[in-house]
A and B are shown apart, each in its own frame.
Chain A
Amino acid sequence: MEVIRHHLSTVNVHPVERWISVLGGGALTLSGLSRGRDGMLRMVTGAAMLQRGITGHCHAYEILGVRTAPSHVTLPYELGVRARASVTINSPREPIYKFWRDFENLPRFMRHLVSVEPSDGQRSHWVARGPGNRQVQWDAEIINEIPNELIGWQSLPGSDVDSAGSVRFREAPGQRGTEVRVELQYNPPAGVVGAYIARMFGREPEQEIAADLGRLKQFLESGEVATTEGQPHGPRGRVAVAVEEAIA
């Protein structure tokens, strides 16, 4: 897991803007050279523009959370918590991709999800269960999709959870099946709701995702998710029951 407090890539300015900054900044700096006191301001401003153009990083953009540089990553958000996990499933890519793309299947192996309902081809409504059985809901949209290779999604504005995720399907070497790699990024809002959502994802979101992927693998390979819930045991005793309830 990684908590990102700064940009992954510091470049947040579009290449065209960068050239404008370099040329404009250069001209401003040069024009400042012959203008005495007045020229100083031009030189400082010009130097800042030059820096913006050369490094591709704009401090004002960073503060405003604006980004004009083209992004090659699936996850558009650059702040918050990032978690990733992967699993190898003994199956070709196509059926795994198909199973995942039918988002209604996700609650079968993702422990926190109650339901996912597609509203059209790209958008879907997600309901998750948090601590104390409180429900959290959000709408998500597919923002990137390559059949049998990649699905990327992000939550729509106004959601409880500001999140984005991607899943990639890659053929494993030596006919060992398909590598499924998931990356999730979320930025819980501040305050009570935020703390609650952070709890829902757990203190170790990577292990949560890994456990979800383990269940996906169980279901797709063996046709069922392994469980011992509901099997008999002797009386546990009061202390043991209290501990179990606390864990649950």
Chain B
Amino acid sequence: MRAACWYGNRDIRVETVPDPEILNPHDVIVRITLTAICGSDLHIYNGFIPGMQRGDIIGHEFMGEVVEAGSAVRRLKKGDRIVVPFTICCGECYFCQTKQWSLCDNTNPNAPLLTKLYGASGAGLFGYSHLYGGYAGGQAEYARVPFGDVGPIVIENGLSDEQVLFLSDIFPTGYMAAQNCNIQPGDVVAVWGCGPVGQFAIRSAYMLGADRVIAIDNIPERLELAKQANAETLDYKSKDILVELNHLTGGRGPDSCIDAVGMEAHGNGLEHAYDRTKQALMLETDRPGVLRKAIKACRKGGTVSIPGVYGGFIDKVPIGAAFAKGLTLKMGQTHAPRYLRPLLELIDRGEIDPSFVISHRMTLEEAPAAYEMFNRRSDGCTKVVMRPN
């Protein structure tokens, strides 16, 4: 089969590789009909995710048709059309049974490596480094999906691939980010980053009852997309965000702040130069420019919700401000399976059509160009979906 493989910094190649096989009794094999590049794939593309090996198949947002099922698979059968959540979950451990799916105990074969780094390991992830299990990803023609009966959702209605694909990651991720804000009537939610996750966070915040959403970015197309969802927008390059947020909220500050940017934050001025330098010198792994501002801006007693990915160590984070204002910090990989059914119902009822976020439709063979474009945000690129031939 053909698959997009990682070969180093900004080096993605489409290679011919062996087809995946059933390795464990709960596995299914999926023939992929649509796959996408996630913003978090760009962290891999830019070399910020440790534990990658040359030739690794990447991609964790995919859907398709079940073509083979392992001996212990009961629920799924050949021909089922499924969306695969990016977290691999066993369904039987304490965390799966308490619906904290992304913290699954049993699906990362390299858990000892991650345990050394973090103290414990969460779920294995598709195409997201050997620290997260080294599972081959879904930017390919076929993928092996462990525990097929647990995570994937069967799509039985007439919705198109483009409408349901993002149940795999970014829609649940944006939704959980908003849910983590514990939104109350009258709340103002500030969202940093108007990429795909930010877009879903904005829409989810409104669905969960936010009074106003303020979206922050500096890419015109993305701010425009936020505006279409009724968000007020701020361009961080032309305004002092902290002053503006304070002003827009009557001096209270936003009730919740969502950091939908993560480790590769862009900013301006001295602070951004400081983080870029420290990162280049490997004195910090992640650039926390957005997180600092979110903590600074948030109202007393508010929540800072972090769907943006962080991987290592950050510097000069104003923990004193977070403490003094009694903030709640919520973060983590998305418990994707928790949201599949309720969000599919929202799509089915027509309350949201997730395909709004797609800017480019390409083929798997074009993956290298797609990565380059998405990384540069050129040609108005917000989201690329790819069809494997």
A and B part of one assembly: yes
Known A-B contacts A221-B93, A222-B91, A232-B3; the reply to A227 vs B54 at CB < 8 A is no
Q: Which of B1-53 contact A (CB under 8 A)?
A: 1, 3, 5, 7, 13, 15, 17-21, 23-26, 53
**The one of B56, B133, B147 that contacts A233, using a Cβ cutoff of 8 Å:** B56
Contact check, A234 vs B55: say whether CB atoms are below 8 A apart.
yes
Contact check, B54 vs A234: say whether CB atoms are below 8 A apart.
yes
**The one of A88, A210, A214, A222 that contacts B147, using a Cβ cutoff of 8 Å:** A222
Smallest CB separation, B62 vs chain A (Å): 15
Q: Is A218 an interface residue (CB 8 A)?
A: yes
Q: Which of B75-114 contact A (CB under 8 A)?
A: 90-94, 97, 105-109, 111-112
Contacts of B23 in A (CB 8 A): 227-231
Q: Is A5 an interface residue (CB 8 A)?
A: no
Contacts of B72 in A (CB 8 A): 223-224
Known A-B contacts A90-B92, A90-B97, A226-B146; the reply to A233 vs B17 at CB < 8 A is yes
Q: What size tier do the contact residues of chain A reach?
A: 20 to 34
Contact check, B56 vs A217: say whether CB atoms are below 8 A apart.
no
Contact check, A227 vs B109: say whether CB atoms are below 8 A apart.
yes
Q: Is B144 an interface residue (CB 8 A)?
A: yes
Known A-B contacts A228-B109, A232-B3, A236-B53; the reply to A223 vs B25 at CB < 8 A is yes
What CA separation (Å) do A243 and B147 show in the bound complex? 31
What CA separation (Å) do A240 and B55 show in the bound complex? 9
Q: Is B166 an interface residue (CB 8 A)?
A: no
What CA separation (Å) do A4 and B133 show in the bound complex? 35
Contact check, A217 vs B135: say whether CB atoms are below 8 A apart.
no
Smallest CB separation, A204 vs chain B (Å): 10
Contact check, B112 vs A231: say whether CB atoms are below 8 A apart.
no
Q: Is A177 an interface residue (CB 8 A)?
A: yes
Contacts of A237 in B (CB 8 A): 54-55
Of B5, B109, B135, B146, chain A has the most CB atoms within 10 Å of the CB of: B109
Contacts of A210 in B (CB 8 A): 112, 115
Contact check, B133 vs A228: say whether CB atoms are below 8 A apart.
yes
Q: Is A207 an interface residue (CB 8 A)?
A: yes
**The one of A217, A232, A240 that contacts B136, using a Cβ cutoff of 8 Å:** A232
Contact check, B57 vs A232: say whether CB atoms are below 8 A apart.
yes
Smallest CB separation, A91 vs chain B (Å): 9
Known A-B contacts A214-B111, A226-B133; the reply to A234 vs B94 at CB < 8 A is no
Q: Is A176 an interface residue (CB 8 A)?
A: yes
Q: Which of A136-180 contact B (CB under 8 A)?
A: 176-177
Contact check, B26 vs A224: say whether CB atoms are below 8 A apart.
yes
Residues 34-54 of chain A, each 1 if its beta carbon lies under 8 Å from chain B, else 0: 000000000000000000000
Q: Is A132 an interface residue (CB 8 A)?
A: no
Contact check, B56 vs A226: say whether CB atoms are below 8 A apart.
no
What CA separation (Å) do A224 and B54 show in the bound complex? 28
Smallest CB separation, A19 vs chain B (Å): 50
Smallest CB separation, A123 vs chain B (Å): 32
Nearest residue, chain B, Cβ from A172? B94
Of A221, A234, A236, chain B has the most CB atoms within 10 Å of the CB of: A234
Smallest CB separation, B287 vs chain A (Å): 29
Contact check, A234 vs B57: say whether CB atoms are below 8 A apart.
yes
Q: Is B134 an interface residue (CB 8 A)?
A: yes
Q: Which of A193-233 contact B (CB under 8 A)?
A: 207, 210-211, 214, 217-218, 221-233
What CA separation (Å) do A173 and B25 show in the bound complex? 32
Smallest CB separation, B330 vs chain A (Å): 23
Known A-B contacts A224-B25, A226-B146, A236-B55; the reply to A231 vs B136 at CB < 8 A is yes
Q: Is B193 an interface residue (CB 8 A)?
A: no
> Chain B interface (Cβ within 8 Å of chain A)?
1, 3, 5, 7, 13, 15, 17-21, 23-26, 53-57, 72, 90-94, 97, 105-109, 111-112, 115-116, 124, 133-136, 144, 146-147
8 A-B contacts (beta carbon < 8 Å): A210-B112, A218-B105, A221-B90, A221-B92, A226-B146, A232-B19, A232-B136, A234-B13
